[in-house]
Chain A
Amino acid sequence: MADADPIIRLRGITKVFGEGATAFQALKGVDLDISERDFVAVMGPSGSGKSTTMNILGCLDVPTSGEFQFKGVHIEKLDRDERALVRRKYLGFVFQGFNLLSRTNALENVELPLLYRGEDRKTRHELGMAALEKVGLADWWDHTPAELSGGQQQRVAIARAIVTSPAVLLADEPTGNLDSARSIEIMELLTSLNKDSGITVLMVTHEPDMAAFAHTIVHFKDGLVERIDAGDGAGRKAGVLA
């Protein structure tokens, strides 16, 4: 599988925040390939550029320069709406802060991406319940985020991310706000989604214990990829530095 075309290919990605004297270069030319079905942990100290890279990979932000190919398409050449369509069709997001809609029950939160895809009511309900089933919260479908624990909220967020069967799941410190027992549950969930559903998982973390669940660990430092290791869960080495 290492020989197949990577699903994600970054070449010379730079990102500058601000202008003039206050400008800050967060990324200084990142090259990275990620293979389909890989489970990648992105590590590095604060300010190393790992989150910036994730945001660019998630089409939530645009690089200042460089090439970003996703399934062979040059994302850096797309406009806002086209990037939104890439997110809608291929990507799922899990955030450190969960980012669920308040006053909205779990099922409706999970169904939201399907709504934007134009799925009908019945399909939305079926897929939404199936996703909640996968994260073990089918019985909690009518609870609002305020009525759920942090771990449950994150599982709802994961259900929302996978309800569209995305090609890539991007998780930005998904366990950052959880205790270790909840964190392990979440990691096991991500592992099974990667293994059973074949979803490529990209996860930012600064906890080595969590990174150990990944097959590939990418270390960032000072806006560049420092090195790439195989994780504990790895039996194969998929990420290759070009």
Chain B
Amino acid sequence: MLGTTFTLAIRSILRHKLRSFLTTLGIIIGVAAVVAMVTLGNATTAAVQQQIASLGTNILQVRPGQGFGRGGGGPRPPDFEEADVEAVKEQIAGVTAVAPQAQTTGTAIHEGANWSTTVNGTTSDFFKVQPWPLTGGRTFSPAEEAAGKSVCIIGNTVRQNLFRGGRAVGQRMRVNNISCDVIGTLSTRGQAGFGGDQDDVVIMPIKMVQRRFTGSRDIRLMLVGVDSAYDSAQVQSSLSDLLRERRRIEPGAEDNFNIFDTAQISATMTQSTTLLTRIVAAVAAISLIVGGIGIMNIMLVSVTERTREIGIRLAIGAIASEVLLQFLVEAIVLSVLGGIMGLVLAQVAIGILTPLMQVPWMFDAQINVIAFLISAVIGVVFGFFPARRAASLNPIDALRHE
């Protein structure tokens, strides 16, 4: 009897292709929307986390001036000095390295090619604070740092534009009108989380940058590496105390510097992207419900239309349960088929959108299974109940149904 019913169900689906397609369409769209949206949402979260990780997670960024949203008024707070860097490095437990930074912009020139870029003056500690492997060459030697020699390490974007991807280490280039030897090339780091190309940079000893570019000994930024075994809040608080003392801030007065904990930003951003994913998932769930209502409508209409067919089947000797089983099998086959097509469509959409949105490709088995099961349940429930009503009619009433 099951084989017979299955035959009848498949025949009926094939004979009414448009009706079958419309029934399936709701499920296809619903499932595809849920799977694609949730997967892309998760991929976005992953991408943001990846970008945050590329900033370095255990780093405190210390800048003069008050934090965001508290600025305005008063004289400009003093920048840091070299002695501050040394003090932080030596006096605070849990600090792995401190890299001072002096930034400016300049035009890098090599054999007629020129490229406007960021010039970053720092020390070799920069590479201890945040791991950034070299693809060739070396970092500054202590002698080069102390003397402020004209040597530079270039980011990949600069390398591509000046050296056309060719060998750069050992070459000589110019930044503005200062010539320097390329001693190292950096690996690709990609986009920063907040826009800007991290690879578009020329790194030189800070003394060199201060002397020849900025013309002052001031330090606008310190990157403080925190040992992961230490609590970063604790380190942050001792750092704050030390700087207050060194900058002679009266007790009760506000800090004239700010400390930015990247681990904290990471947590905040992860939280907001997770929230975003939830909202997207909610929107997708609504589309699945709308899809379900679509299925219910088509099923209701088709059962009304098929009541006469049910009457014919009952008249020629079908038992109500056989007719019902046929409708159930039809609903299951259509729902499962629609579910599978929805999953495939979702993968296609994810495949197209992932590179456009610059997020990593991922496959979330859980959401695939959940969306599929929900669609199957909707299809079966909405396919089954209208049919049950029709099959419970007296055969003659079903036959007379207009």
Q: Which residues of A come within 8 Å of B, CB atoms? A: 55, 58, 60-62, 80-81, 84-85, 87-89, 91, 93, 95, 99-101, 103-104, 108, 112-113, 115-118, 160, 164
Contacts and interface: CB of A to CB of B under 8 A. Distances in A.
A116 B399 contact: no
A87 B317 contact: yes
Contact of B319 (A85, A108, A113): A85
Among A58, A81, A104, A116: residue with most chain B CB under 10 A: A116
Nearest to A100: B312
Contacts of B314: 60, 84, 87
B317 A60 contact: no
A28 B351 CA distance: 73
Given A99-B308, A118-B1, A84 B16 contact: no
A81 B321 contact: yes
B266 to A, nearest CB: 61
A99 B312 contact: yes
B322 interface: yes
Contacts, number: 68
B394 A99 contact: no
Contact of B320 (A84, A87, A118): A84
Contacts of A112: 313, 316
Interface of B: 1, 4, 7-8, 11, 15-16, 308-309, 311-322, 394-396, 399
A213 to B, nearest CB: 24
Contacts of A101: 309, 312
B399 A60 contact: yes
A84 B318 contact: yes
Given A99-B315, A103-B16, 12 more contacts: A60-B315, A61-B395, A80-B319, A87-B314, A89-B317, A93-B315, A95-B399, A99-B308, A99-B311, A108-B11, A115-B7, A116-B319
A80 B320 contact: yes
18 contacts: A58-B315, A60-B315, A60-B394, A61-B394, A84-B318, A85-B317, A85-B319, A87-B316, A88-B317, A88-B318, A91-B317, A101-B309, A101-B312, A103-B15, A103-B16, A112-B316, A116-B317, A116-B322
A160 B316 contact: yes
B401 to A, nearest CB: 11
